[in-house]
Amino acid sequence: MQSETYGEAKIGNVTPENFMEQDEDFRDLVLNLIKIHVVSEDFGADVFESSILKAPTPDLKMRMTKTVMEEYGHHLRFRALFDDLGIDWREYCQDKGHLTTFDTPIEDWADQVVFLALVDRAAAHQFRHFVKCPYEPFRKASQDTLNEEYGHVGLGMDCVKEMLAEPGGAEMLEPKIWKWLAVGLISFGNDKSRSNDRYRYWGFKSETNAEMKRIYYEQVHAFVTKDWGIEIPATYQDFEAGLGDAAPKAAIYSS
């Protein structure tokens, strides 16, 4: 039986035991992706922690607490991948900044739940690619994280639905949707990213950034317009054009 290969490079399954035998470009990509998640899952959990007290009811406080715990768990999960390779994660990550996702302020509970519904959904789209990558430990960590991201998205969707049922809910949520959908879109990187070419070559992604953004936006557009009753432009290009100077400037996964 022929073993599975990944990406345009047709690379086979990679484990910690044969990691150092791989091409330097591949190794750099793996280590950078791990570094991104080690730093940013920890930072994001710190940001989310204040939203526990923003939640309006005890049951929502409990669900938000679980979300924060899982975000810290993501940090520990990806940190363990450095341990597998004998790399000191503190030393290796000291020069890495957090994802720009968390530079947009989460000002209230509505911000938090729309973030979960839209930005964590964008993260899930990324992880759906990572679960098919050639590096086995990263693949496993991504699958475990993806399962939990779906739960975070579910919390956001549940809460948005409740808010929409309240008087003035749609009017209150509309600017939040524009705010966080902009962040979700920029998380996929530039439409003509050279980094994306490398990710696809080595099998960490199977679509261009533009393709991922289109698929993500079409999904979001469907439920925002039909289920939430809020109008947004038909394409992500039109949405981004409508942002003007308010568009985020930095891409999340382009490093």
- Report field, pTM of the whole predicted structure over 0.75: yes
Q: DSSP states of 15-47 as a string?
A: -TTTGGGS-HHHHHHHHHHHHHHHHHHHHHHHH
Q: What is the pLDDT of residue 2?
A: 46
Q: Domain range holding 180?
A: 19-246
Q: Is residue 146 part of a domain?
A: yes
pLDDT digits 0-9 by tens, 135-161: 999 999 999 999 999 999 999 999 999
Asked whether residue 3 is domain-assigned, the answer is no
89: CATH = 1.20.1260.10
Is 14 domain-assigned? no
Strand partners, 6: 11
What are the residue ranges in the chain where pLDDT is below 50?
Answer: 1-2, 250-255
Total count of domains within the chain: 1
Indicate whether 7 belongs to any domain.
no
Q: What does the DSSP assignment read for 122-191?
A: HHHHHHHHHTTSSBHHHHHHHHHHHHHHHHHHHHHHHHHHHHHTSTTHHHHHHHHHHHHHHHHHHTT--T
Which tens digits make up the pLDDT trace of 110-127?
999 999 999 999 999 999
Above pLDDT 70, what percent of the chain? 95
Whole-number CA gyration radius for the chain: 19
Side-chain-facing half-sphere of 212: CA atoms under 13 Å = 27
Q: Give CA–CA dist 71/73, Å, rounded.
A: 5
- Report the SS3 class of residue 118: helix
Q: Looking at residue 62, what is its pLDDT?
A: 98
